[in-house]
Structure 1
Amino acid sequence: MDNELSGNMNMNQASSISSLNENENTGFIGINVPLLSNANETFRQIKEKRFSMLKPWSDFFDKNRISKPKDISDITKKISHNLVYFQANYLVIVLILLVYIMITNLFLLFSCILIGAGFYYISKRPADQPLDLFGYKADQKSLYIILGILSIILLYMSSGGSALFWIVGVSSSIILIHASLLEPSIESEFANTV
């Protein structure tokens, strides 16, 4: 009986130690960053889910359905419908603007590539092997903190904040203007009711 009880206690201690070890191997400051570890899977899911909902561009740019809204309730109805119906098309517009800002600001593009490569490198390093940085042993959490600070500095120097505000401002303006002017099609109304 005592052997069985001590055996159960040893098994419980072993499982709690293994769960502690699992928690230590999580990503940045105890938070697992799935985008870094499963980037291909994440992009595949986005491609399958979001881009499968892409509506025809002829439907998106149908000038015959553009009309001036009558009042605020008409604007709200059009925007709420079009945001849901054309969400994948709007995502493509945001991605095009993102590519445009990266091409026009090469220092920002270089900074983002450097930051992404740094996070990828740290995520692939074994968590139990510290890196020797100028005589200082930096574990994985310390490396994430150092890279986070360097990322803020790089993004500040490359005007990352203004680029972000530009993308948000331009894309939201384009999306809201388009969504408020385009009348819902009969097919989309029927698809929403089914």
Structure 2
Amino acid sequence: MNPEDNSAAGSDLSNKMIQLSSPAAKEWLNQRRQTIRSWAEFVNTKQFEKPKSVKNWSSRAVKNIEYFQTNYLFVFVGLIVYCIATSPLMLIAIAVFLGACYIINIRNEQQKLKIMGHELSHAQQYGAAAALSFPLFFLAGAGSAVFWVLGVSFFLVAMHASFHVCSEEAGDQEPFMETV
């Protein structure tokens, strides 16, 4: 089998994978769009209350995580954007990496990259770009940024899910006034 035939088959396979994942990604995004809850409902401070028991807390947390799942995803993405936007070195590292990926993409349209007679696949070239960008990401503090975003997201989601009263739970509450 000719190596050029093998690389052509590999690129056809990667194109098919992209085409197969595209409808799935579109479906996932459409599903997320449909499940966005009102931000007024999400941040309504009148709906926050301490749970009455551990059982109440666990059921409330599960219901809120299911109900506000997309809103929590937006909080997570917002924290990522905040973290990147407030770190100039991180912006530079991302720009360098994306620039290298762009150059790889443009160069592969013109001609395939060969090193010592061996043709490098797209994945190998992108892997090399990532490996060469790793020191810059390390200096930019990308590792600590990732753990900061994960930690803050987990904390915010846990607090909101624990203290936000579900609509089902709100109907079950007894009125605060008693008849005299």
Same fold? TM cut 0.5: yes
Q: Structure 2, unaligned stretches of length 5 or more?
A: 172-180
Gaps of 5+ in 1: 1-12, 190-194
Whether 1:23 aligns to 2:5 is no
Residues 188/61 of structure 1: CA separation in 2 closer, same or farther (3 Å cut): same
Matched, 1:113 2:100: no
- Cα deviation, 1:11-62, whole Å, max 9, x if unaligned, reads xx9xxxx7884235555xxxx8749x96xx94x5554221331111121122
- Matched positions, count: 166
The alpha-carbon distance between structure 1 residues 174 and 117, as it changes in their structure 2 partners (threshold 3 A), is same
Coordinate RMSD, CA, aligned: 3.8
- The match for 1:151 is 133
Are residues 1:81 and 2:60 paired? no
Do the aligned partners of 1:130 and 1:137 also contact (CA within 8 Å) in 2?
A: no
TM-score, normalization by structure 1: 0.67
Q: Tell me, what secondary structure is at the counterpart of 2:104?
A: helix
Q: Hey, what's the Cα distance between the residues in 1 that align with 2:61 and 2:99? A: 39
Alignment of 1:38-53 (within 5 A): 42=25, 45=27, 47-53=29-35
- Which of 82, 103, 109 matches 1:100? 82
AA at the equivalent of 1:22:
A
Which amino acid in structure 2 is aligned with residue 55 of structure 1?
A: R
Percent identity among equivalent residues?
A: 25
Q: Are the aligned partners of 1:25 and 1:127 in contact in 2 as well (CA < 8 Å)? A: no
Partner AA of 1:161 in structure 2: G
Secondary structure in 2 matching 1:54: coil
**What's the TM-score, normalizing by structure 2?**
0.72
1:116-127 mapped onto 2 (5 Å cutoff): 116-123=98-105, 126=108
Shift of 1:119: 3.3
Mean alpha-carbon deviation: is it higher for 177-186 or for 150-159?
A: 150-159
Q: Deviations over 1:84-132 (max 9, x none)?
A: 1001111111121111111110211222233234335435654894326
SS at structure 1 position matched to 2:79 = helix
Letter in 2 for 1:90: Y
